[in-house]
Structure 1
Amino acid sequence: MAELLKLGIPKGSLENATVDLFKKAGWQISISSRSYFPAVDDSELKCSLIRPQEMGKYVERGTIDVGIAGRDWVRENDSEVVEVCEMVYSKASRRPARWVLVVNGESKVQGPEDLHGATISTELVGFTKRYFAERNIPVNVEFSWGATEAKVVEGLCDAIVEVTETGSTIKANGLRIVCELMESVPVMVANKAAWADPWKRAKIEQIATLLQSALRAEGMVGLKMNAPQERVPAITEILPSLNNPTVAHLYNSDWVSIESVLPEKEVRRIVPELVKLGAEGIVEYPLNKII
């Protein structure tokens, strides 16, 4: 029987971005609304759709070998897994999610220690309990099914632990951030036994390498052009690149071809400057991967 790697695809907010990323990396994943087992064009993979909140525990058990989820949910379950790499999706958000301790704007609480004996509402119960226990601060932590911010506004609890990117919604509701408890980004995590298996580890590393190369290519483009030999120093001086631009002589000519990789947002600024410096035949092309 052929070797098989069981892969967890995060269901929910990261689902479409993950499928798009795998496509850029070289895998076609098809998700049906009637199935929790997406099809994939790789006979060595078996995919499952799993809520990020549960990804860590299923990876730890070995139900799946490797999966992608927020670091916050992996830590919430205190999962014993191998963190292979970070997966910061630009199509979802490049801002890390921040879990913060929040109180009513009129509260006198200035730090976690001021919440001795308080009731805290949150979706991140396990992590919050451990956070306060490690600091010997006795609190009552309750699970929140949603509308967590409203609970502290209405006085149903003394504080909340809530996720935010900018904090603007928290401030708009008349609440105040006391401190940040954790910063989270999507991560790829692997089962320890799978990571110790040579074939599975090689397959996981292959996937991680190509996914990260696709992430590095997001927002980047290739730019190539022709120019007179004497204009090369001036052009390369203003041309961004990962390392140095590639310069190659054109056959039987004193002109050269110049090629570089740069952020797409830089193109609109730099192309007019390149034209002024004598560049011609400027071509911009998309990139799928940067390895």
Structure 2
Amino acid sequence: MSAPTLPGSREAFVRAFKRNVSAHAFLIGAVICFAFFSWYPMVREFVLAFQKTENGATSWAGFDNFRYVFGDPSFWQACRNTLLFTGLALILGFVVPFVVAVVLNEFRHAQGFLRLLVYLPVMMPPVASVLLFKYFYDPGYGLFNRILVFLHLPAQDWLQSTDTAMISVVIAATWMNMGGATLIYLAALQGIPGELYEAAELDGAGLLRKIWHITIPQTRLILSLLLLMQIIATMQVFVEPFLLTGGAGPEGSTTTVVVLIYQYAFNFNQYGGAAALGLCLLVLLAGFSAAYVRLSRDNEN
């Protein structure tokens, strides 16, 4: 009669491994894909930021790439454009979804259809949405100029003018991405106890007072989380300015930091400068990401 197998013996480990071999295979595959497509590019970017390539030969450049980036006037213009885009996108993309969510929360019928209608732009391919807005912004036959002419207002060179190019990009980006934030706000609003609004109505509070004293305080944490998420997203904007204005825009008015990274790498063959600029952006966004993780933990607790 053989001795019983101990739980911690080699045979028990083999049996447990065989039971979970499929799970281990999927896990190993996911780790390999993540390492190849996420970790390796980050490590390669860090190394490339301190290298230079001349005539096919690669050598260490120290901080030369960073000095090149910080000494480039295009870098500072791209920083200003990115901050401008972030500010305008937060005014529209942060406030408008919240207002839309408050309005939708007042509807008692057809909420499912209205949610689908609001979220529909997010489901569309980004390129299709951008090309749709490019048609709207066309100075000749575009929809927006037709509306202005119908209202007896002067037509605008939406994407061809330095005064309107950036706000045009922001409007397109807001329409494309506001659906997700609106649904998150709506879910948060529906979690607010109705007794608070009933008590406020008994005290004679109007709509604005209820929003200021009840809605905003009750959704303060969600508002903070989405604010950080939108800052992280808007500082990485690329698709909208690249497709709407070719990246640079009139007199470089829509060149963002990520667009400049693209130009360094593929237009100027300055891969070291592109990696250095990308590393700077990575460090900046890591700070916002750390704040987002901290707020998320506070929300869980």
Which category of TM-score, normalised to the shorter sequence, fits these structures? under 0.3
Structure with a larger share of its residues in strand? 1
Structure with a larger share of its residues in helix? 2
TM-score (norm 2): 0.23
TM-score (norm 1): 0.23
Higher RCO, 1 or 2 (CA under 8 Å, sep at least 6)?
2
